[in-house]
Amino acid sequence: MKRAISFLLVLCTLFSLGFAVALEKGDARAVFGADISEAQKEQVYKEFGIKEGSVKELTVTNAEEKEYLDGLVAPSIIGTRAISCVYIEVLGEGEGLKVSTSNISWCTKEMYMNALVTAGIDNAKLIVASPIEGISGTAALTGVYKAYEDITGQQLDETAKLAETQELVITAELADEIGNYDAVTIVNELKKILAETVKMSDDELREQIKSIAAENNVSVSDSQVEQLVSLCRSLEKLDSEELKAKVESLQTTVKKLAQAKEKASKFAQSFGDFVKSVGKFFSDLFGNIGK
């Protein structure tokens, strides 16, 4: 039987339900896609910031990606080669989540962080990297699952796996349509009221979702509402109070990421305007020479 683990799931399953198992600060694994070259592996080790041989190394194949992800992630996203890689390190109590990605096209840092919180992961460093640009990252996701099992020797809870899988897939799909920050915001707002939504009928929940979207100036379609209803029903099976507390602790970080992106975008725009104005100045200057 295929183990149903999707993008969110694999990332968030590291330590899923999670720090209750025997994990110690410094526990780490490096997992590499089986289809990268030795030169590319050296490149990824530099991206991880560690020396080869300093941590236990694992490998993930495209066949394993398909075993874990087939039916949950589109074949075009899984691809035919295992390229992406992941480094996972357990951090000390109170150090929080540190997530970075490089050359990964399908999931943002905000989604990774949101997924990790759903899984109950409080303190971990996660680096997802590819030696090639534009890689979806599913090999790395499958690699997280393998790393989790290797570190803990424990299987993952099926109920949590299903909820986590749905969350990442739905959040990723919403992000494509309404933007990363808005998608994460709506999902997080739902997580905060799971103790209430469990008492609602589906119709009442639909209205609640539309209300949350409106409060955040986001437009959602009927099909998107249905996706969120399905996700909410799965999340309700988890510990709602614990999930709410973790989401609230994460929101400040997510907002800071969004603000940083907005500032970078505004700077890029203003710099572009400046370059255009300089270009126009010299164009006018030289255009008037000889007149």
* Contact yes or no for 5/13 (Cβ under 8 A): yes
Q: List the domain boundaries for the chain.
A: 7-155
**Model pTM score:** 0.63
Q: What is the structure's pLDDT at 45?
A: 97
Q: Give rounded-to-5 percent helix, strand, coil for the chain.
A: 60, 10, 30
Residue 111, phi then psi, degrees to nearest 5: -65, -40
Q: Please, what's the b/e burial string for 248-284 (b: 16 or more CB within 10 A of its CB; e: otherwise)?
A: eebbebbeebbeeeeeeeeeeeeeeeeeeeeeeeeee
pLDDT per residue, tens digit, the chain (291 aa), is: 333 333 343 334 333 333 345 568 889 999 999 999 999 999 999 999 999 999 999 999 999 888 877 766 788 888 999 999 999 898 888 888 898 999 998 766 776 666 556 555 678 899 999 999 999 888 887 787 778 778 777 765 667 666 766 777 788 788 888 987 888 889 989 999 999 999 999 999 999 999 999 999 999 999 999 999 999 998 898 888 877 877 776 665 555 555 554 554 554 455 455 445 544 544 454 445 444
Are residues 136 and 79 in contact, defined by beta-carbon separation less than 8 angstroms? yes
At 12 the pLDDT is 40
Short-list 234, 210, 204, 235, CA closest to 224: 210
